[in-house]
Structure 1
Amino acid sequence: MQRLTFGSITVDAVSDGVLSCALTGMLPGADPADFRRLGGCDDGETLLLPMLTFVIGSVGKTILVDTGIGPTIGSLGRAGYGGTVGLLPQGLARTGIDPATVDAVVFTHLHADHIGWNVTDRNGELVPTFPNAEYIVSKSEWAFWSATQSRDIARCVRSIEERGQLRSVEDGFEPAPGVQMIATPGHTPGHASILVTADGSGCVIVGDAAHHPAEFEDPTLQPPYDSDPAMARETRLGLAERVEAEGLLVAGGHFPAPHVGTLVRVEGKRRWRWLGAG
């Protein structure tokens, strides 16, 4: 993804790798032709899902949105996913980002493929990968996951909480000027998207409110991992309407390259247009 710039705010994407899965397993009823057109599924059968972390620079602060899947595929491997992961540390190094200089990690939600690099195993001890960062999650998301016995949560989030670095916040929280968490529930109970705006332009980082742009074109596409399918569908429609009304760009953590685009109307139908496309 090319760097996005909104006033003095910058947004970059750093990859933690790519997962692969069956298209119809991820999005039952998907039309392979749509995915050949939009990208991410050239053979019409296998969907490739990038694992992206977004790096936001605002007023001297460095903010990460999600931390990828981590060094291994973990439980997703047992669910039939394949791919190459664990690339975030070297990706950050290539962009000149020292983990110690990260001010905040903001979560869209707490699924395993978004929290994997919260911690690093150093000689058998789990330590925060971003030692000086505040790790920020919506209150409703943490209320849900903190009541579970998830091993991923215990490893990657409770260990952060025990060190006093976890903060749960209300909808609308701003970790830096021009950066705002907005409630987009449905995929998980407290899912948030990250709105970045400055000087009359902006983008929304949608997390898993949509895994692929095709979900904005076809509201009937529904991944099996949404905790509340009806609410997730309503959220996607609401996001699409806001994007159209405000002329926002959309960046997706699992969208194929170039990972960002917008929504336009073509003959009365909502269509996805990649950034830079004619």
Structure 2
Amino acid sequence: METIRLGNVSVTRVVEYTGTVEMTSRQFFPGSSPELWQENEGLLVPDHWNPRNDLVLSTLQTWVLRSGGKTILIDTGAGNGKYRPYANLWSYMDTDFMRRLARAGVMPRDVDVVVNTHLHNDHVGWNTKLVDRAWVPTFPNATYLMAKTEFDFWNPENGFKQKTAPGNQNVWEDSVLPVYQAGLVKLWEGSYAIDSNLTLEPAPGHTPGSAFVRLRSGNDHALFCGDLLHTALQLEHPEFNSCFEEDEQGALKARRRVLEHAADTKALLLPAHLPGHGAAEVRRDGSHFKIVDWAGFSRI
């Protein structure tokens, strides 16, 4: 496990999965052109795209933060043993993620806070584990932070129409409701201060309650931005979406706003699914952006 320091906060990258998501560039990012991917081959190969078969590469990873004496997890991946009939890649996974978390020095009882940037299937899976045929909280001493807007959107009792509902089938029942019924969920609105270094802020678009974590500590600034960005190409070309956006215009606005802020403040961007070095700094380049440097993690 590798760790970097940002001010008084340590950040460890714990990977659950890396590889193809079994989608071509146009399937994953319908608004992008084949020419754009080909023109940026130097940026994308070998970590983010395979030009031979046009398959996009991705990562499921949890950011482990130690801040103010607390252990904080940002997003919990797909989890093991979850039935996902319309998301086959994440269905009945069987990984050693918990052992990797242990190698990072984190035991389930040690986790103080779990942040779900949103409630898609690949961000909440390790919220729970299967014990005696029942889904129970994996981190029994943690407060699980979920945006109230997001929680209400996915609550089947509210009847919201969801574009990405098929892929999220069973998620409410096996990964959200058990921690809520256990009294571990804190629903937040507006913004939410986790501690003096970390703040949750809304960035609706990908889902109505999508959020990012802003880190400010000493002279360091970082944005843990969930699914605002899915590929390195969006770091430089934010003008196209993934196929998983609930609100396409909202997603475009949120992505550009976060990139502009990162460029202006020299903040490190840490998306949820970026392979390779996993995080990057950007600068403005006309109406687009350029990657200035990658984070200090090894390539995966």
Change (3 A) 1:72 1:254: farther
SS at match of 2:26: helix
Contact 2:82/2:125, CA 8 A, preserved across alignment: no
Please give the alpha-carbon distance, in whole angstroms, between the structure 2 residues aligned to 1:188 and 1:103: 25
Aligned residue-pair number: 276
Residue 116 of structure 1, aligned match among 119, 125, 141: 125
1:83-109 superposed Cα distances (whole Å, 9 cap, x missing partner): 976342111011121110000101100
Deviation at 1:60, TM superposition (A): 0.8
Deviation at 1:230, TM superposition (A): 0.3
Please give the alpha-carbon distance, in whole angstroms, between the structure 2 residues aligned to 1:233 and 1:25: 18
What is the 5 A alignment of 1:37-186? 37-38=43-44, 39-43=47-51, 45-72=54-81, 74-75=83-84, 78-79=86-87, 81=89, 86-146=95-155, 147=158, 150-186=169-205
1:177-196 superposed Cα distances (whole Å, 9 cap, x missing partner): 20110111100001001111
Please give the alpha-carbon distance, in whole angstroms, between the structure 1 residues aligned to 2:237 and 2:150: 27
Change (3 A) 1:268 1:151: closer
Amino acid at match of 1:201: D
Change (3 A) 1:273 1:21: farther
Deviation at 1:55, TM superposition (A): 0.6
RMSD, aligned CA: 2.3
Identical columns (%): 26
Change (3 A) 1:228 1:130: same
Deviation at 1:81, TM superposition (A): 4.3
Aligned to 2:14: 14
Deviation at 1:80, TM superposition (A): 6.1
Deviation at 1:226, TM superposition (A): 0.4
Deviation at 1:50, TM superposition (A): 0.3
1:222-260 superposed Cα distances (whole Å, 9 cap, x missing partner): 111100000100111101110011110001110112101
**TM-score normalized by structure 1?**
0.91
Q: Do residues 207 (structure 1) and 226 (structure 2) align?
A: yes
- Name whichever of 111-120 and 22-31 sits farther off: 22-31
SS at match of 2:172: helix
Please give the alpha-carbon distance, in whole angstroms, between the structure 2 residues aligned to 1:105 and 1:71: 17
Amino acid at match of 1:213: A
Contact 1:21/1:82, CA 8 A, preserved across alignment: no
Change (3 A) 1:272 1:135: same
1:183-222 superposed Cα distances (whole Å, 9 cap, x missing partner): 1110000100111110121110110011112113223321
Contact 2:49/2:56, CA 8 A, preserved across alignment: yes
Change (3 A) 1:78 1:267: closer
Deviation at 1:266, TM superposition (A): 5.0
Aligned to 1:253: 272
SS at match of 2:260: helix
Deviation at 1:176, TM superposition (A): 2.2
Residue 272 of structure 1, aligned match among 281, 285, 291: 291
Please give the alpha-carbon distance, in whole angstroms, between the structure 2 residues aligned to 1:73 and 1:127: 13
1:149-168 superposed Cα distances (whole Å, 9 cap, x missing partner): 95211111111111111110
Q: Do residues 32 (structure 1) and 37 (structure 2) align?
A: yes
